[in-house]
Structure 1
């Protein structure tokens, strides 16, 4: 396993250029932050697997190509993240060494492995990704890995959940939200509907956002509630949960009245996008309670 190397300021990394060229030749996309935001939104319909690579680790390049091949066999989108070129993305996923891989399923990050992996192991974890995506209704066009055991057919989604999923597929976020709202009126304890509604709202708010412009606006106006809410949305989509939650908890501490309630409500909605057992959510809930009381 290769530690993530630092880069010398001003140096031209010829090995990195060659590695990016090999990835381009293989057809495996290398992402930046803007592309990552697009993949996070895409994962609401179809899972995404990101291979973390470095020019200093030829093994990571080989595993990335194995991931691409295995993912293509089952319809999963695959991409590579060069940790030397995109350290912020690597840090957001707590990647300390390459090779490593992370899946995005329904907008939620799921670590797959860190270190060497055989094709059989890659097929196995992709099978788990496909199964999770089917359970979440985010399995558009998926198959099964070669040689993987055939999973039992998933039961159909509840009618209103299926209605929401169909609306997402055709890009009608208002209709999807309405379907989830109806499901919650019928059953206020429907956690899947609540999470789905929060994900749809997040996707609708962020789908046309320019990440650079949003971040610049937030940096220029730290007291602008709307600007801070917008950048927190991008951080959640990018997997930078601690940054997003910490930003909004800090905002709760310095706002009052309607503004404070808006920030609190958005933070609770963003919690719903993530696995409720995620340690970052649990920490942020405690911090929010402290900030409020």
Structure 2
């Protein structure tokens, strides 16, 4: 999922705008790279006719963006293991060309098939907008974030709301306003704010992070007794439901690392249990945290090692 108040996105060096990607370079070029500059990933194959039409059009549009986005090309035939792992994590790669946009380490937008040049430009323009704001309200955003961190929740909410009055498509401000209401215990109101998001920012990483926080807050309200669930897991380590419930209770108690550990253990034991519930819950926790949080970085590495094993 970008931190609030980042300001303008950095520009990529001219010679580094478009490159071929592999399983070995995907994490650095796409996941980590998109934390600096939005990245477009073109999944293609040499035998694919529409790919031959779309590829040059994408490259021209990326070049025209002058460093505000980068592009990574993945040949799905050469990188079958990578494509399979990404499909397992939810990317719809059954047909190509598939183009996926990443911001802040997460997929935020996509399309399939060859589309006109005008639609490609609109796609890139949306991506650039997600990558950062124009810097005009950066100070106000920073101040609102500081208020929220210090517990001045009402003042923070008012500041975020004022920013939205001036810039309704400011994803950072909308996410901040929702988080302020979450801090007040107003889960429904926080969710209602996100439901009013303009189409241009509805998939912004900031908003996705708050959606994950809302989901976890609702789970916390229904979490079972921690001690009882721990005893159930210790009595029967093969009780997957008890382990899953125990992980939710741990997270509700603020023990995030312990919750992640239990979910990884559940995934190791049975990755398909309850339609992949352990992996889905891990992704929800990761999305709710900052991308550079050590829990996220370590947890994603451990999960990836299990998927690729």
* TM-score bracket relative to the smaller structure: 0.3 to 0.5
Q: Tell me the TM-score normalized by structure 2.
A: 0.43
Q: TM-score, normalised by structure 1?
A: 0.45
